[in-house]
Amino acid sequence: MSVQGWNTVLVLGGIRSGKSEFAESLVTDAPVVRYVATAPEGDPEDTEWATRLAAHRARRPGSWTTEETTEDPRRLADVLASAEPNETLLVDDLGGWVTVLLDPDHQPADDVATIAELADALRACSARVVLVSPEVGLSLVPTTPLGRAFTDALGAANRAVADACDAVVLVVAGQPVWLKPAAAPAASASTAAPAASASTAAPAASASTAALAETAAPATAPVVATLADAEGIPEVQLPDVLTHTPPPAPNQEPGNPWAAPTMALPMVATGLVIQPGMELPMPDEYAGPQAVDRLATLDVPGAGLGVLDRVVGFAAATQGTPTPQAWGSVRVLLLHGDHAGGGSAGAVAGESARRAAQARAGQGVLARLAAENGASLQVVDVPASAAMETEPALTLDQVESALRYGWRLAEQAADAGVQLLVLGACGAGTEAAAAAVLAATAGAEPPTVLGRVITDTGEIDDAAWMVRCAAVRDALHRTRRSSRGAKDILAELGGGDVAVATGVLLGATARRVPVLLDGPVGVAAGMVSRDLAGQARHWCLLADHGGHPAVRLAADVLGLTPLLDLRLDLGEGANALVALPLLRSVLALSAALPVHPSLGGGDEPTPTGGAVPTIDEPSYLDTGNSDPDGTEPDFAEPEPAGPGPASTGVDDQPASGWRAG
C-alpha cells in the first residue's frame, strides 16, 4: 500500500461523504491489512445502526483481519505500537473511538492525555496506517453538554492525529481533497511559463545537479526551462543513441496512429515540475478490449493466441486502435550506476563498467540482441549512490535532476519516433536498492525479495546474500521515521538508477510511449512512479519475471502479469529483447489475418509486391524417372496406396540411393 508515498494518512469527511470507501481504496493493494474497528455495537434495537455496521463488514475482503478496541480506548495506542512493519492498519473510525473514550464506564479518565498517547503511538508506528474520522468542525455548536464534549474531544483528536500523520485528505461528496502536504498545481501547455532568463532567481545548482541537467529540446518539442538555464550553467548532452547494424525496420501502413496527441509538459519558470498527483494520459480504455474481442473472429485453425492476447490488448490500448501494429522503432535504455555499501556485496569491482563499455562497443548479449531486433541502444551513466544503510543514497537535489533527466530521455526517444522503450540496468547493488524500495512501498521483507547472489564462476554466495539483506534491513531501520514520499524513497533508498528509471516511466507516459520492463530496477521505478502519477503503470508491459522474487512481488502489486515464464537471466534489458520477436510476431499476425469466412470475412489479401513466392519442387509426375526402382507409389492414382516421397530439392533426377522412408 502506498498513499501518494506517505506512511500515515488521516481521512476526514462528513456523514455519508464516502470517507470510509476512500480509505479502503487506499489499502486495496497492501499484502497484509488489519482492520481496527473502534465503534461500539450500540443498542440491539437500533436496526439502522446495525445495518451500517453490517455494510462496513460486508465491504472488507476476506483476506483482511479485524481487531476491535471497543472495550478499552487506550488499547488503540497499544495496537499501533505493536504493529509490524509489513502490516497496514485501517482504523475506522476516530468518532467511534471518542465515543467509547467519553463513555461513563471509562471515566474518570484524562481525555487529553489519552489523545496525546494516541498521537505519540502513531508517530512511532512502524506499520502503514490509514485512519478515518468524522469532520465535525463545520457544523453548529451542539446545544447539549454531551454533544459539546464529543465535538471538543473529537476536534482535539483530529488535530493531534493530523499533526502526527504524513498526509491528510478531506473527502467531500466522494471527492478527495488533499490538505497535507498541499501539492502545487501543474501548469498546462497554454499557461506554462516561458523559459527563465539568465536573471531569473533560482536555487544554486550543485555539481551533481549540473551533471544531470537536461539538454535543450529539439525544435519540434516543447521547450523545457531547467535550473541550468536559470543559472547559466552549460548543459551536458544526453548519451549517444547507438545503432549496431540493425535489420531494416518493418513497413507501417499509412494512417497508423503512432502520432497521437501527447501530454504537454507541466512547467514553471525554474523547469519541469515532477510532483505527486500528476495527471498524465491513460491508454485507450476501449481499444484494448475491442482488439481482444476481434481476435476471436480471426481466421486461425486453432484456439488462438492464448495468454499472448494480452500483448494485443496492451498494444491496442497504447496505440489507440483495435488493430495495433507491431512495434517498428524500438530503443533500449541501459542505466549504468553503482551503489556503495553492503548492497553491492558479492559484485566484482568494475564489472558493471565493463558491461556498459561492452554495450557501447556493440558487443555482448544486450548489444547483439538489440541489433538482431533492429533496436537502437542508449547507455546512460547515472549518479553513483551512497551506502543506503548509513546515509541517503542521493540528495533531494540529485533526485529532482535525475527525474527530469529520465523524463528528457523519454522525450528524446518520442521525438525520434520510437514506438517502444525497453528499460534495463547494470550496476553493483541495484538488486538491493530495488529490494529496499519494495520493502518501503509494499511492505516486503528484504530476504523474500532479494535474489541469490551468483558469482562470476556460477557459484551461489550465501555470505554475500546475507550482507545484502543486512544492508537493506539497516537502511529501513535508519529511515523508519522518514517520510515515505516518492522522492524521499528515491533519495534515501533508491539511488540514481531507480530515480532516472522513474523519470523515464513518467516521461514515456506523458508522451504515450509504452515501456517494456525487465528486472528489479524497472519494477522498483514502477512502484515509485505510481505515487507520482498512477497512470504510469498502465503504459508498462512485463515480458518475463525471470524467476526474480522482487519482480514477482512488484508485478503482483502493479497488476502486471508476466507474459512468459522462461526464467531467463541474461541481464536486465536482454531478457526482454529475447521475447520481443515473439511479441512482434503476435502483433503482426493479429493485424494481418482476415476475419473467418463463417463470420463474413473474405480471403486474405495478396501481400504487397505480388503473390507469395513458392519453391518449385520436383514431381514424380514430371520426370521420366518417377519410379527408378519400381518401389514408389504412383501419385497419379486418385487413391494412393501410401505416403509420397519428400522433396529432394534438386532438379530432374532424384538423389542417388534415395528411398522412401
Q: How many angstroms separate the CA atoms of 38 and 334, rounded?
A: 51
* Residues 506/533, Cβ–Cβ less than 8 Å: yes
Q: What angle do CA 320, 325, 329 make, to 5 degrees?
A: 105
Listed residue (338, 342, 368) closest to 352, CA to CA: 338
Alpha carbon separation from 493 to 315, 343, 380, 473, 502 (Å, rounded): 33, 11, 20, 11, 13
HSE, side-chain direction, 13 A CA sphere, residue 383: 33
Which 8-state DSSP code applies to residue 111? H
Query: Which segments within 407-512 are labelled E, that is strand?
Result: 420-426
* Residues 134/98, Cβ–Cβ less than 8 Å: no
Q: How many angstroms separate the CA atoms of 389 and 445, rounded?
A: 16
What the block records as the C-alpha cell of 53 is: 455496521
Q: How many angstroms separate the CA atoms of 218 and 412, rounded?
A: 8
Positions marked catalytic: 572
Query: Which segments within 166-308 are labelled E, that is strand?
Result: 167-172, 175-180, 241-242, 267-268, 271-272
326 Cα distance to chain centroid? 22
Q: Which residues have CB under 8 Å from 44's CB, separation 6+?
A: 50
Q: What is the 3-state secondary structure (H, E, C) of 537-574?
A: HHHEEECECCCCHHHHHHHHHHCCCCCECCCCCCCCCH
Q: How many angstroms separate the CA atoms of 55 and 228, rounded?
A: 56
* Residues 455/461, Cβ–Cβ less than 8 Å: yes
Residue carrying the nine cell digits 530495488: 434
What the block records as the C-alpha cell of 156 is: 482535539
* Residues 581/308, Cβ–Cβ less than 8 Å: no
